[in-house]
Amino acid sequence: MVAANIDGTAIAKSIRERINADIKKTQETNPRYKPSLKIIQVGERSDSSTYVRMKLKAAEEANILCELVQFPESITEPELLQQITRFNNDPTVHGILVQLPIPKHISEHTITSAVAGEKDVDGFGISNIGELSKRGGHPLFTPCTPKGVMVLLEESGVDLKGKTAVVLGRSDIVGSPVSSLLKNADATVTVCHSRTQNLREEIKRADVLVAAIGKPQFVKGDWLKPGAVVIDVGTNYIPDDSKKSGQKLVGDVDFDSAAQIASKITPVPGGVGPMTVAMLLQNVINSATIYFEKQKARHIKPLPLKLQSPVPSDIAISRAQHPKPITMVADEVGIAAHELEPYGASKAKVDLTLLQRLGHRKNGRYVLVTGITPTPLGEGKSTTTVGLTQALAGHLGRIAFANVRQPSQGPTFGIKGGAAGGGFSQVIPMDEFNLHLTGDIHAISAANNLLAAAIETRMFHESTQKDGPLYKRLVPTTKGKREFKPIMFRRLKKLGITKTDPNELTEDEIHRFARLDIDPETITWRRVLDVNDRHLRGITIGTAPTEKGLTRETGFDISVASECMAILALSNDLGDMRERLGRMVVATSKNGDPVTCDDVGAGGALAALMKDAIKPNLMQTLEGTPVFVHAGPFANISIGASSVLADKLALKLAGTEADEIHTDKAGFVVTEAGFDFTMGGERFFNIKCRSSGLVPDVVVVVATVRALKVHGGGPEITPGAALHEVYRTENVDILRKGCVNLRKHISNAREYGIPIVVAINKFETDTDAEIAVIKEEALAAGATDAIPANHWAEGGQGAVELAKGVITASSKEKDFKLLYGLEGSVQERIEKIGKTMYGAEQVEFSELAQKKVDTYQKQGFGNLPICVAKTQYSLSHDPSLKGAPTGFTVPIRDVRLAVGAGYLYALAADIQTIPGLPTAPG
């Protein structure tokens, strides 16, 4: 009998053809599916280069992107590890193969172990080999040659169950892994090697022989059991004068004699060799498929809540829940390890490169949470944001993010307290959330105050030096050479000076370049502090003798009121933030020209201080669902919303791939706007959406029985005092009267063409009749739905019906439009807000406000959106006017400029930019 040849060449070819067809078919629904392999070769050896050429040619035939990356033999181990890390972190690379051998000064174990397990297509990494050797293990990738051996046996129709198999050779590359695979196929396996006694007898018992001992023609035909199946893995060269090269390739088995005894045998060459390469390509395909499937298989595993009645304090609830490691939160939503920068165990920053990696995704659904005009106790807007997200992610199986602002330490230690939500709908750990977090507010404070110091210093030096010495100090000669710093070209361009050699400027050009000539009366840039320190509202600076009489009246704002914070919230990337910081106008020159941060030369320094702050912070809710905490602009005088970048990141993480059904799989990003819709919502649309280009799918307006009773004529609510009986007992009449406030907010929200859901934040004293009144009034006013929710007491479970209503509303048609354009005058835009949103009869400008508006228009800043700073306790500027007042006049006492943030803000009535502490601070 003559053994049948097991034709590895033909089988490998059919595998390559199938891979090619599979790739093309997958690309029909997912054009981004492009399996890619990187082969790393250090130095160049003729034997390994031959194998590399075979792999490159086979990959091309299979439609796999394959690149040989060669490094010189002198490369150091750390340098090589850096390159492997780069490929590990590159989502377009699915397989990494280190071509062996590598130079002796580099540890082979260290290098092969550095390849990420999910890209170890050679199958020799610790995790893959470990899983393979485990009974019931699940390696991601099986080493290519052993895998090829098993495919050859399968293709040849060999049933291994109960067969006696002998593996000749115990190497980590073939012998050991192939023995594990044979055992897993239910064969009885014996591993033999050069020191095995009675080797011929052991081989004689084998139904299947796998020879991988590395000795040419070692096994003879008479060693074999008649009818045995022989897989020859050997690759040995022996002298052969008939060959051009002087040698020929043979296996570990004497083919001619073995073919007379065996039933089936692999030739050398043409047997296992081509299969090794084919299995490598198959592993690359598997890796790419796993990667793309993982992108779609994101799933949040919620933490269980231990609900209690009565509900404990917020801090007690927070401390009783053990949060997930933040790395787990990130992994569940598809944030890669290299995209995460942990700050301890429960918070982390997310790198902005994630936006590029997920740029192809269709955004998830965008939900804006806002509210009716609140009481000083707040109506649970943050609590609703968190509870709704817990319901969506923890109970309805959607990817969902809560995107909230970072709270200021001022209110945390003041009247308001923390801003982490409340009850069983909180961001945890709440103490870390409310205090330093990752230091973003400190970075804002440092940047803001650096600019303040730079302004005063520039004025000081200009007042004590003549043009020549001043210019020489600004542009000094260093190592015999004098040149402008890069930032200086911004000012030169602004002045129309095109010269690049500092020595060529005329006296007039030197004067204009060196002298900002700031008018001290026009300086708008103030120092900031994240503390409610009322005594810093007005201060005198420059009183020391060294300041030579340059005293000036100024003051402090709270840190979150800094324009730097608004810029952090509205920037689209690091470069955008740098440009915005440079554009900030800090004063006016005596000639009436705006003086910017870049004129002072500080734009780059501010961006450097804020380069980490621009990365959103990842935390979690009590139920372990993800939260982005980023930026915290003061809600009275700024946009009062979290950052554009956090929203964009979350919308991509909650988005869908090309081959997913968007309506079924789209996740949700639930963000909030400060205070009520008429303040926070209006700015959210007209400033934030205008800047980001994003449009919400649904607006959630949070209402409470308590607040609506206030608007119906109920007595004032004072923090710390006992609630009046009207708020603790049923009173449908006063409630219905107060619903005028809810109707106005719904009417205002409808101006923007987005579906509206009213969330009735339920308190234990609310009655069914009162809830029914709010629902009736909300639907009559044009809301899509009005749904009670008890998430404060029940967590996400208490907001499930609200979440279902939001899902339904988010799929409805939108007719989005902004409230105003930017073409008309500043007065027209402010009047549009005052009359349409607030219900005012007219808007009145003070002399100061009008003068400043005239200046801004003259300077070219007249076409910016408007942020009106006013009280949050009334639709009007007057906190005593409840309900939905009409016929009043809004007094605009000042208008300030925030060019970097991209808006003007008008101060209505008496708004403070740094709060004070109460009698009994928090």
What CA–CA distance (Å, rounded) separates 424 from 793? 6
**What is residue 47's predicted lDDT score, i.e. its pLDDT?**
65
pLDDT bin (cut points 50, 70, 90) of residue 129 is confident
- CB-side neighbour CA atoms (13 Å) of 433: 27
**What is residue 46's predicted lDDT score, i.e. its pLDDT?**
67
Model pLDDT for residues 240-255, shown as the tens digit of each residue:
888 888 889 999 999 9
- The answer to whether the CB of 584 falls within 8 A of the CB of 903 is no
Report percent pLDDT > 70 for the chain.
99
- The answer to whether the CB of 429 falls within 8 A of the CB of 672 is no
Residue whose entry in the numeric block shows the structure tokens 């290098």: 111
Residue 370 pLDDT > 80: yes
What CA–CA distance (Å, rounded) separates 628 from 643? 9
Beta-carbon count within 10 A of 38 CB: 23
Burial label, 720 (beta-carbon count in 10 A; 0-12, 13-18, 19+) = exposed
844-869: string of b/e by CB count within 10 Å (b at 16+)? ebeeebeebbebbeeeebbebbbbbb
Q: Does the annotation count 82 as an active-site position?
A: no
Q: Does the annotation count 324 as an active-site position?
A: no
- The answer to whether the CB of 748 falls within 8 A of the CB of 737 is no
Residue 376 pLDDT > 90: no
Residue 161 CB contacts under 8 Å (≥ 6 apart), including other chains:
185, 186, 187
**Beta-strand relationship, 785-789 and 756-761:** parallel
One-letter amino acid of 543: T
**What is residue 245's predicted lDDT score, i.e. its pLDDT?**
81
Mean pLDDT of 82-111: 94
pLDDT bin (cut points 50, 70, 90) of residue 790 is very high
Mean pLDDT of the chain: 94
- The answer to whether the CB of 69 falls within 8 A of the CB of 40 is yes
Residue 434 or 833, more confident: 833
509-543: string of b/e by CB count within 10 Å (b at 16+)? bbbbbbbbbbebebbbbbbbbbbbeeebeeeeebe
Mean pLDDT of 302-312: 95
**How far apart, in Å, are the Cα atoms of 348 and each of 143, 242, 264, 339, 843?**
36, 67, 59, 10, 45
One-letter amino acid of 56: L
What CA–CA distance (Å, rounded) separates 706 from 335? 41
Q: Which of 9, 71, 519 is nearest to 266 (CA)?
A: 9
**What is residue 124's predicted lDDT score, i.e. its pLDDT?**
85
Residue 52 or 425, more confident: 425
Tokens of 106: 């580099």
Residue 96 pLDDT > 80: yes
pLDDT bin (cut points 50, 70, 90) of residue 548 is confident
Beta-carbon count within 10 A of 67 CB: 12
881-900: string of b/e by CB count within 10 Å (b at 16+)? bbbbbeebebbbbebbbbbb
Mean pLDDT of 889-904: 94
Tokens of 770: 């009162």
DSSP codes, 202-247: HHHT-SEEEE-S--TT-B-GGGSPTT-EEEE---EEEE-TTSTTSE
Mean pLDDT of 430-445: 93
Q: Does the annotation count 55 as an active-site position?
A: yes
Model pLDDT for residues 251-292, shown as the tens digit of each residue:
999 999 999 999 999 999 999 999 999 999 999 999 999 999
Which of the following is catalytic: 122, 254, 351, 599?
A: 122
Q: Which runs of E-coded beta strand occur in 245-306? A: 247-250, 264-265
Enclosing H/E stretch for 459 = helix 440-464
Which of the following is catalytic: 55, 349, 775, 870?
A: 55
Mean pLDDT of 896-902: 95
**What is residue 674's predicted lDDT score, i.e. its pLDDT?**
85
Residue 418 pLDDT > 70: no
pLDDT bin (cut points 50, 70, 90) of residue 371 is very high
Model pLDDT for residues 171-182, shown as the tens digit of each residue:
888 999 999 999
**What is residue 416's predicted lDDT score, i.e. its pLDDT?**
61
Mark residue 254 as left, alpha or beta (left: phi above 0; alpha: psi -120 to 50; beta: remaining): beta
List 850's β-bridge partners, or say none. Answer: none
Model pLDDT for residues 12-41, shown as the tens digit of each residue:
999 999 999 999 999 999 999 999 999 999
pLDDT bin (cut points 50, 70, 90) of residue 746 is very high
pTM of this structure: 0.93
Residue 629 or 53, more confident: 629
Residue 535 CB contacts under 8 Å (≥ 6 apart), including other chains:
none
**What is residue 415's predicted lDDT score, i.e. its pLDDT?**
66
Residue 128 pLDDT > 90: no
Burial label, 477 (beta-carbon count in 10 A; 0-12, 13-18, 19+) = exposed
Q: Return the DSSP state at 310.
A: S
Model pLDDT for residues 210-239, shown as the tens digit of each residue:
999 999 999 999 999 999 999 999 989 899
What CA–CA distance (Å, rounded) separates 710 from 374? 9
Residue 720 pLDDT > 80: no
List 267's β-bridge partners, or say none. Answer: none
Which of the following is catalytic: 41, 99, 321, 797?
A: 99
List 619's β-bridge partners, or say none. Answer: 627
**What is residue 322's predicted lDDT score, i.e. its pLDDT?**
95
